[in-house]
């Protein structure tokens, strides 16, 4: 499984400004596979991003807004984008503040189709 | 959540761990099964049982790890339907301990592991500044030590509170 996921992640990490891409189990917050630039802590990002995504998904469900497909968290020194397709797997990217979110979002959805 | 510690230097790091990781129960114990601190337990018999079982599981997993991998495994996770447990050893300047954590669906194994790493760092730092231990972890009077620790964690007042009664002489 990991061999087929790696190209998906590498494509994401090649996007300008993307520092890390990970496939994460939303339930456990554990990394399934990752493509990280130097200095990125994959396990920490995976656990925290999965937790935030899970809370967003449960909140949207409680508010009767339907399924969450994309989550973007902007912070001072970077942004985290998470996309899920209703399974336990979510794809997480960590990017620079100046990265093109539209492009990242598009690539995330392409990647989701490939791993579904 | 109520936290009680036999040695005060472990209390603050354990409280942060439980709060940040949103653990439901946590125990810090010597590998021998002697309790050092607990969070979330309400009865001393539960602490005693959990310590004995956690110590046994840790010893078993450690030996399995040594046979399979040449060294003891680092951590152990069991997943139930609603609750999960994480059992992992940690080292301080005052010796080795085991942390037994029970958590539910409001957190995840990934988060528990991250905050456990922080607990390990904080306990290692706190142990350097802590006063000398009153007795060795595995003294000859193990049972007396165990009872002393349990008594420190569950003072009589706690038991009365748990049963809705009053301590002798009132409050």
* Beta partners for residue B95, in sequence order: B92
Which candidate in B86, B109, B110 is best for mutational testing of the A interface (most A CBs within 10 A)? B110
Question: What's the pLDDT at B134?
Answer: 60
ipTM of the complex: 0.82
Question: What's the pLDDT at A2?
Answer: 52
- Across the beta sheet with A18-25, what order do the strands follow? A31-36, A18-25, A89-95, A78-84, A70-75
Question: What's the pLDDT at B169?
Answer: 45
Mean pLDDT of B7-34: 94
Contact list, A28 vs chain B (CB under 8 Å): 108-110
Q: Is B109 on the interface with A (CB under 8 A)?
A: yes
Q: Do A46 and B110 touch (CB under 8 A)?
A: yes
Does residue B161 surpass a pLDDT of 70?
no
pLDDT in tens, B89-126: 999 999 999 999 999 999 999 999 999 999 999 999 99
Torsion of CA A6, A11, A17, A20, to 10 degrees: -10
Q: Which domains occur in chain A, in start order? A: 2-115 (3.30.450.30)
Does residue B167 surpass a pLDDT of 60?
no
Contact list, B108 vs chain A (CB under 8 Å): 27-30, 47, 50-51, 54
* Beta partners for residue A36, in sequence order: A20
What whole-number distance in Å separates Cα of residue A93 and Cα of residue A12?
A: 8
Q: CB–CB of B6/B108 below 8 Å? A: no
Number of Cα atoms under 13 Å in the Cβ half of residue B165:
9
Q: Do B114 and A54 touch (CB under 8 A)?
A: no
Contact list, B114 vs chain A (CB under 8 Å): 43-44, 47-48
* Beta partners for residue A78, in sequence order: A75
What whole-number distance in Å separates Cα of residue B147 and Cα of residue A88?
A: 45
Does residue A53 surpass a pLDDT of 80?
yes
Q: What angle do CA A52, A53, A56 make, to 5 degrees?
A: 90
Q: CB–CB of B166/B160 below 8 Å? A: yes
State how far residue B148 is from chain A, nearest Cα, in angstroms: 38
Q: Do B113 and A48 touch (CB under 8 A)?
A: no
Q: Do A51 and B111 touch (CB under 8 A)?
A: yes
For chain A, the average pLDDT equals: 90
DSSP single-letter state for residue B9: G
What whole-number distance in Å separates Cα of residue B12 and Cα of residue B4?
A: 10
DSSP single-letter state for residue A27: T
Question: What's the pLDDT at A57?
Answer: 93
Model pTM above 0.95: no
Q: Which domains occur in chain B, in start order? A: 3-163 (3.30.450.30)
């Amino acid at each position: 499984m990991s061999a087929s996921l790696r190209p998906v992640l590498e494509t994401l990490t090649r996007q300008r400004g993307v520092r890390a891409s990970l496939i994460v189990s939303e339930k456990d917050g554990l990394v399934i596979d990752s493509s990280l630039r130097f200095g990125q802590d994959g396990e920490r990002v995976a656990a925290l991003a999965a937790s935030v995504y899970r809370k967003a998904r449960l909140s949207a469900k409680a508010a009767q807004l339907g399924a969450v497909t994309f989550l973007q968290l902007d912070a001072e020194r970077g942004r985290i984008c998470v996309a899920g397709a209703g399974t336990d797997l979510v794809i997480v990217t960590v990017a620079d503040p100046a990265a093109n979110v539209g492009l990242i979002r598009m690539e995330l959805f392409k990647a989701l189709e490939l791993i579904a | 959540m109520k936290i009680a510690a036999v040695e005060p230097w472990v209390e603050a790091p354990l409280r942060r761990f439980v709060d940040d990781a949103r653990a439901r129960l946590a125990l810090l114990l010597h590998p021998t099964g002697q309790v050092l601190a607990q969070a979330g337990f309400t009865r001393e018999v539960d602490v005693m049982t959990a310590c004995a079982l956690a110590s046994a599981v840790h010893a078993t997993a450690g030996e399995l790890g040594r046979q399979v991998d040449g060294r003891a495994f680092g951590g152990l996770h069991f997943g139930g339907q609603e609750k999960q447990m994480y059992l992992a050893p940690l080292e301080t300047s005052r010796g080795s301990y085991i942390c037994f954590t029970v958590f539910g669906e409001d957190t995840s194994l990934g988060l528990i592991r991250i905050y456990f790493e922080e607990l390990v760092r904080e306990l290692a730092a706190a142990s350097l500044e802590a006063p000398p231990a009153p007795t060795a972890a595995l003294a000859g009077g193990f049972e007396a030590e165990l009872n002393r620790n349990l008594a420190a964690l569950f003072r009589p007042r706690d038991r009365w509170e748990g049963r809705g009664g009053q301590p002798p002489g009132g409050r």
